Amino acid sequence: MKRDSLGSLNRRDFIKTSAAAAAAFSVFGRNLGAGTAPAPGKSIVVLIKTKDRAQGVKDALRLLQVPALEGRAVMLKPNFNTADPAPGSTHNDTLRQLVLELKTRGAGKITLGESSGPPQTKNVMDDKGIPALARELGFDVLNFEELAEDGWTHFAPAGNHWQDGFSLPRAVVESPFMVSTCCLKTHGFGGHFSMSLKLAVGLTPKSIRRELHSKRDTDMRKMIAELNQGYQPKLIVLDGVDAFVDGGPSTGKKVEAGVVIGGTDRVAVDAVGVAVLKELGSNATIMSRKVFDQDQIRRAVEIGLGVTAPDRIEIVSSDAAGRGYSDKILGILKEG
């Protein structure tokens, strides 16, 4: 992509990027399940009913039919805001299985990238045992806190709510295969929920997060969605084996949800996740609003990041238990 002298995507390339994101409803949507493919304009989300994270990740990628990666480099973004136990942060079992699945499909260099906060990223990585896991499984670790100025790409899309736009790591923006893995939880500090859209905050320089949190009562959730215009994950895996139905993002009221969710569309994945929180019984910010009326989702729809309505989502499961639960979640989505 062409960039101006300030390292920003120029307007033409930004529009192309946004259009590609809107069109990429299901990049793996062929012969899913019993030989079905998503209808035009719809997005496939897979929902695995399980308490076994490793098996859930394996089944999700199988149902999504993630293709052979043929040596492509992979950027992997976890939820390491802190080192708190899942769903406070990505469970190492989820991360391990995801790396193994990517390697099985022929991935080239795999890089885990993150910027934690407020704790120092290095400390969070160490507390979670990530350096040892990286040596064992053979992946690299990139601490976004340590990036030089030329390691960032600046964005200032028209109509965004960031005072001076925002920056994302160049390695993420230019990644040939970006993978996001998130948790299932509410967010008690203004985000309302923290899933795949909210994961983008961990891609920003820490210096601009003060602006985000200063607007927690006004534009914070819109700003979260807008960050997602700068990059396009090819795969999203949401670990919902455990969930926070109140509090969050680091600690909260934890319940067993028993799901692993996968997809390629951040709007669809988060919509299904919010519907699961509703089914579990969550706090007022989740229960009192329709799923597509949640600020993060509504803004993401406005800027073309994914599906536009509940009836644009198809849920695929691996067994009778999953299909029964999926029917319940689809009902919640349609009711709001």
pTM for the model stands at 0.90
CA distance 15 to 181: 26
Structure tokens at 268: 């669809």
Judged by DSSP in three states, 126 sits in: helix
> pLDDT tens track of the chain, all 336 residues?
333 323 344 433 443 334 333 333 344 544 433 334 556 679 999 999 999 999 999 999 999 999 999 999 999 999 999 999 999 999 999 999 999 999 999 999 999 999 999 999 999 999 999 999 999 999 999 999 999 999 999 999 999 999 999 999 999 999 999 999 999 999 999 999 999 999 999 999 999 999 999 999 999 999 999 999 999 999 999 999 999 999 999 999 999 999 999 999 999 999 999 999 999 999 999 999 999 999 999 999 999 999 999 999 999 999 999 999 999 999 999 987
Report which DSSP code applies to 251.
S
CA distance 118 to 125: 13
Ordered domains of the chain (ranges, CATH):
11-335 (3.40.50.11440)
Structure tokens at 61: 């990628």
CA distance 157 to 160: 6
DSSP string covering 28-53: T-SSBTTTB-PPTT-EEEEEEE-S-H
Structure tokens at 29: 């949507």
CA distance 190 to 253: 17
Q: Measured at the alpha carbon of residue 54, what is the angle toward residues 233 and 86, in degrees to the nearest 5?
A: 75
- Are 221 and 190 in contact by the 8 Å Cβ rule? The answer is yes
Q: What is the separation of C-alpha 293 from the centre of its chain, rounded to a whole number of angstroms?
A: 19
Judged by DSSP in three states, 301 sits in: helix
